[in-house]
Each structure stands twice: as structure tokens, then as C-alpha cells.
Structure 1
Amino acid sequence: MKKVLVLGAGQLARMMDLAGSPLNMDVKAFDVRTNKVVHPLAPELIYGDLTDGINNADVITAEFEHVAHDTLAQCEASGKLLPSSQAIKIGGDRRLEKALLENCQVANAKHVIIDSKADFDKAIAALNLPIIFKSALEGYDGKGQWRLKSAEQAEQIWQEMYDFIAQSQASVPQGIVAEQMVPFERELSLVGARSTTGEIAVYPLTENHHTNGILSVSLAAPVCQSLQTQAHKVFTKLTEKLDYVGILAIEFFQVGEQLLVNEIAPRVHNSGHWTQQGTDTCQFENHLRAICGLPLGNTELNRPTAMINIIGEDSVPTDVLATPSVTMHWYEKEKRAGRKMGHINISGNTQAELAQRLNAVAQLLDPKAFPEVAHFAAQYQENQN
């Protein structure tokens, strides 16, 4: 039995545990809020502190990239951490991320690193409006971002960013990355795995729709093979450069026939939840296979599948389950506005069938709780006609 310790005790650790059980894996989670090792499905069960967790684990991994550096160092010293602490740090710091992309000659948005007011002024001079400013650390789900659309906003945005930097609780200095806004056609992501032996397996490109900065719908359906090949090459470049082990997610902007990397996530990813019903081997199982030295599972798309995020709601109409090939995944969290509470996976044997089912489910959901989902579903169904 392989014993796995996950840094973080949220829904991703929970789903890793569910995927690991059939493989005879014992998955525990380190709750960074309490500094205790807990059971991912029953956090009231405590198994000691981080030192105990490290000693009892065969391999250590992470469910999020914003792990305190001293925690990463302690885990790295054990020789059990996969992916490496450097890979996790890169996913949590946009400055390191941009340096990796440039070093690998991977296309991404034109950008400027900002550490001072002089850098801010330089960025405005070097980039064309509109410009998006992103915090180097602690930025996720649309947080820590500012959009400069006119020169008149500059001073106000600089003051907001200055205050944000001053209030940072991060273990390393906060900073800002200024990016040229990209007029993209759609947002895509690629989730893939690389094993301890260097074996690579990637899932199909996924189309993502965000609402208020948070992923609301992911759609996995056949895409242009040239785009898939392009994304696969980027995945191979980055993971081989990092000697990466585990699941890595890469978010792209599609601009014509070119993919620009938006950001990377060194972990299982929200846009890969559809793999639970759309593939033979879901991302959670393949992450565990990768870090535990097992052969990777099949990542081919079995059937077109979509995922709807459940944000800030602890229930949905039961009629949703009357639609064929609908699977609910609840995280057993306390209801809170903006919180990811669960997700719904929907599959069809064809894109037309998936579109019909996605639209049927969307019509049952509260439009206030699931804004833009019905519009996305209707548009997808119209495209299949």
C-alpha cells in the first residue's frame, strides 16, 4: 500500500483520496490552517503534525501552489515531494512562471514585471492599453487583478496595487506582472501527466468559460488536431524542463491558430474535473499513478463531457439527475458566497447529445446562482445544429 500525503485539505485532496482507494493507496491531507494531518473525507480524524505526516508518507504532493516555503522546504528535504518545490513555487509566483515560459521559448502575452512606481510607468509606456495587472502571488479566481483601460485610471490603480502589496501576508515579497490584454477567441486548457519515468499522457484540450473571474463551465469535445499538437508540445517542453512529475494544467488563450500560455498550475485542476466521467482514467488517478511510479492510464476522450461548477450553493434541483449521464460531485463544504461547493458532470455519446443534455440541465439551474451557464449551453447547442 502506497501512503500519500497531500499538502492542502480541500476538495482536490478529497478527490485524490476517492481515486486512490481502488488503487490500494492510503491518502492523508495536511491542513495548512490547523497544521494537522487529517483524513481528506473526515477531517475530524487527526494523524499528527507535518513531521508525523512526512515520516508516515511514501510520497508527498500538493493540491495548491500557494504553500508556505518553509513547509515546502521541509517536505523537499525528505526526498518524497513530487512535483518538486521549485515547480510548485513557479505555479504560485507569476514572475517565476513568466521566466520559465521565456526560458522555454513558449508563446505568452507581452509583459513587464513591476516592483516599483517606475516599473509601473515603464509598463504603461511599453504596453498598449488595455493592460491587465496581476499580483505575482496569492492571485486566483480573478483575485489580485486590475484592468487599465484609460490613462486616467493609472494613479488610482497604482494606489490600489501599492496598498495590496503593502498588506501582503506572503512569505516572499509580493509583486505585480503587467500583461498586454490579449484579444483571444476562447480560453482553453490542457491537463496532462508526466511520470517518474518520463512517460507523458495528456487529455484533450478543454474549452473554459469564466464568470466573474471564476471557472463556470468546462467543455471537453473533439478539437482541431493542430491545436492539440501545439498544446502537447508546450506541455512536453515545460515538464521536461522542470523534470516534472504529476499532473500539470496549462491555461491558454487561442488567438487564431496560435495558443498563448496564460498560466500554469502544478496540480490537479478545476478544468480537468470532467475527466471523472469523460475518460478511462481521471486526472486524480493519473496524478497518483504518476507520483507513485505506476504506468499512466488512458487519457483519450471516451465521450464529449462538460462540467458545471457549483459556486456558493449547497443544493441544486433534484430534477437535474433526471437528465441522462449526469453525475453530481459535492465537496461537503459549508455554504459561502463565491466558494466552490461541488460540480456537475454531463456526458453525451455525440456533441449534439451533450449539447442537448447540457442545455436541459442549464434550464433547471437558478440563473442568479449560475449566471451565463444557460447562455453558454444555448450557444453550444446552436453551434451543433
Structure 2
Amino acid sequence: MKVLVLGAGQLARMMALAGAPLNISISAYDVNSDNIVHPLTQQLLGNGLAQALADADVVTAEFEHIPLPVLAQCQQSGKFLPGAQAIQVGGDRRLEKSLLQTAGVATSAFTVINNETDFNAAIAQLGLPLVFKSALAGYDGKGQWRLKDAAAAPALWQELAAFLAADPQQAIVAEQFIRFDREVSLVGARNRHGEIKVYPLTENHHVNGVLSVSLARPLDTALQQQAEQMFTAVAEQLNYVGVLAIEFFDVQGKLLVNELAPRVHNSGHWTQQGADCCQFANHLRAACGLPLGSTALIRPTLMVNILGEDQVPNSILELPALGLHWYGKTKRAGRKMGHINLSANSTAELKARFAQLIDLLPAATFPELEQMLQQL
């Protein structure tokens, strides 16, 4: 089976690693260069989307900000999963919010802003504080603004107006600011027959809007069931095939959807050693018509992102049940360069091992890990 991935980054790389034991061959299409490359070696395999589609049995994606002509061509091939609609929903907050409403899934109150009248109406309707998010191309905290004080509204509108003027396709989604207890996410898979399997809820800690640590451990059963119901509603509304991630705000035991990711997800990397079948393998299984693998938690596991660094102390490899994953990228400030997975037989043991890991990592480049440690 040959699978083409739109995008040639670390998620395509990890799909290739997961696909090899299943005899699934992965190639990656770089939407910027129009090149077809090997996702591990980056060796040039060809050029042009038409050739890439012709050579593939199945087409999928590792990111959602894909040019519409590329999506249309992939959809016309009849091979594209989860399909153009799902990818567009993940890449446009307007479509995302509309889908959540249609599926009957709880999310924060919102309005769409295209002009100053909309801006003022949003403040009047939703109240302060507000979070403003770009409808397109927003990720990892980018394209977001906050308004806490009405006196700051005129200055903020000038900034938003300039942003909107730069791209006629762009809009702003204004959302009520949610005072949440924590951020969690659910990663799951749905196959072509409608079978759904989900992983345990993952607790997430962000630094400056970028995921720092994800933790998978046994959580409240009622919260898990609530998340599964919301996942099922969204996946079935989209007739989704593949792995889907949903990020939630946990507000005193009630979940509100923050955003959707129609692909394998950073907060699911822990599944590489915390579950029998990782998210990358399950995505390929779903897309290729294979039975889904187990998503049960086999041991408490956490993931630490490596941001902007191309090396870590080799001594961390001495820790039991630690896996180090590099992405083969050129070093750049803030860039996701790799991740660390750490497992244990119990939450208490995981906390002790995490403390050891923190002691070995430079605090300046791995900030706020102590805060996550205290939550264990």
C-alpha cells in the first residue's frame, strides 16, 4: 500500500516509521516546493502533484493549512482521507465553529468579525475579556489577540484592521475568554466502516501558546465519556476517516471544544510508548482500510516537546522507559525539533522519573516543567 502525505514535516516522518512494519510505503508532497520527497531522508522522489496522486493508493495530510487548489485536486482523485471538507474545517475557524454548532458540541460563544461594526458588536454581545483569533493560518498561539479593557479597543481595532486589509480572505473570530481549570485533548480514530476508538484524555501544558508537556494517565471516567461523545459527534458529522484530535477547555468538569485538528497531533505523541498502537499507525490503519489497533493506556506516559534546540544531554537516555525522537530539522528559535517520551508503571513512579528528567534538562530551554511536575 502506498500512502501520499500532504506535507513533509515531522508528522509525515513519524507516519513513515509507523507504516513500515505494516508494509505501508509513505511519500510526502511538499506543497511549497511541489516536490515529492521521502519523509525520512528528504530524498527527492519526483515533482508535481499529479504524479504524486497517480503513484498513491491513499492520500492524507499532516497539516490543515493547505492551498485550496491542492485540496480540490486531491479530492478529485477519490483517494483523499479524511477529505477536503475536514481539512478546510481544521484550517478555518469560521467553518470549525459552524461545524461544532451543527454537531451540537459545546464551544465558547463567538462572533465573526469582518469590519469595525462587527468588532464593536462583538464587544457589546460577548462582553470582556475577549480573545480574537485569525480565521485562517493560526496555530501555536499565532494570530491571536486579547482585549481586557474597553479603553484599549480603538488601538486593537487599528491592529486588527491592518491584519484584515492584508488578506481579503481573512477574518477574525471573537471568542469569550474562558477561565478554564486545565487544557485537555482527545485523540481518536474512525475508520471507513464507522468504527471509532479513542485514546485516554491527555492533560496539556502550554508555554507562550506552544505545547510543552502532554500527560496521559487514568482520569475521571465521566470526563472521558463526555469527551468521547463529543468526539463521536464531530467525527460522524464529517464522516471522518483517520485520526482526529480535539482540544478542550475543562471548566469544572464541563468540556468546551477549543479547536479541532484533522490529523495526527502533537498531544498524541505519547502514544508511541503509552499505547499498543500509536496514533500514527492507527491513522494509517484507518486510511488504508485496516482494523484499528488498541487505544488503551498501557502505562502512564508523558511527552516533552524539544523547542528550538538540536541537542539535549545524552545522560537523559540513561533514564528507564525514555524515548528520544528527533525530527531532522535545522535549528531555529521556537521550532519543534523533537520530543521526549517518558513512561512508568504508576503515576507516582512517572512523577519521580519526570523529576529526574527535569534535573538533567536546561531550565532556560525547558521552562515551566516544574509546574507540570506538581500536577502529577
Q: Give me the TM-score of the superposition, normalised by structure 1.
A: 0.96
User: C-alpha distance in 1, partners of 2:370/2:30?
Assistant: 36
Partner of 2:43: 44
Q: Report the counterpart of residue 278 of structure 1 in structure 2.
A: 274
Q: Cα RMSD between the aligned structures?
A: 0.9
Per the alignment, residue 295 of structure 1 pairs with 291
- Counterpart CA distance in 2 for 1:27 and 1:3 is 6
Matching residue of 2:99: 100
Is residue 233 from structure 1 mapped to residue 229 from structure 2 by the alignment?
yes
Following superposition, the deviation at residue 105 of structure 1 comes to 1.3
Q: For residue 137 of structure 1, what is the aligned residue in structure 2? A: 136
Q: CA deviation at 1:161?
A: 1.5
> Aligned residue pairs: how many?
376
Query: Is 2:12 the counterpart of 1:17?
Result: no
1:318 corresponds to 2:314: yes
- Number of the residue aligned with 1:111: 110
Secondary structure class of the residue paired with 1:192: strand
1:187 to 183, 187, 199: 183
What residue identity is the alignment partner of 1:149?
Answer: K
The separation in 2 between residues aligned to 1:46 and 1:374, in whole angstroms, is 44
Q: Distance in 1 between matches of 2:41 and 2:151?
A: 52
Aligned-partner SS, 1:91: helix
Which residue does 2:345 correspond to in 1?
349
Which SS does the other structure have where 1:47 is aligned? strand
Deviating above 4 A after TM superposition, structure 1's stretches of 4 or more consecutive aligned residues are: none
Contact residue 363 and residue 374 of structure 1 kept, 8 A: no
How far apart, in 1, do the equivalents of 2:346 and 2:363 lie?
26
CA contact (8 A) 2:35 2:44 kept: no
- The residue aligned with 1:86 is 85
Q: Are the aligned partners of 1:312 and 1:335 in contact in 2 as well (CA < 8 Å)?
A: yes
> Residue 347 of structure 1: CA displacement?
0.2
1:380 matched to 2:375: yes
Give a deviation string over 1:119-154, Cα, whole Å, max 9, x none. Answer: 000000011211000000000000000000101211
- Shift of residue 158, structure 1, vs aligned partner: 1.3
Match status 1:33 vs 2:32: yes
Indicate whether 1:359 and 2:355 are aligned.
Answer: yes
Q: Could you tell me how far apart the structure 1 residues matched to 2:52 and 2:300 are? A: 39
* 1:5 partner SS: strand
Contact 2:248 2:259 in 1 (8 A): yes
CA distance in 2, matches of 1:359, 1:66: 37
Local SS of the residue matching 2:44: coil
Which residue of structure 2 aligns with residue 306 of structure 1?
302
Equivalent position of 1:220 in the other structure: 216
1:210 correspondence with 2:237: no
Does structure 2 retain, via aligned residues, the 8 Å contact 1:355–1:380? Answer: no
TM-score, with length taken from structure 2: 0.99
**Counterparts of 2:140 and 2:165 in 1: how far apart (Å)?**
21
Task: List gaps (5 residues or longer) in structure 2.
Answer: none
Match of residue 200, structure 1, among 177, 183, 196: 196
**Which AA in structure 2 matches 1:337?**
A
Please report how far the alpha carbon of residue 78 of structure 1 lies from its aligned counterpart in structure 2 after TM superposition. 0.6
For residues 375 and 257 of structure 1, the distance between their equivalents in structure 2, rounded to whole angstroms, comes to: 21
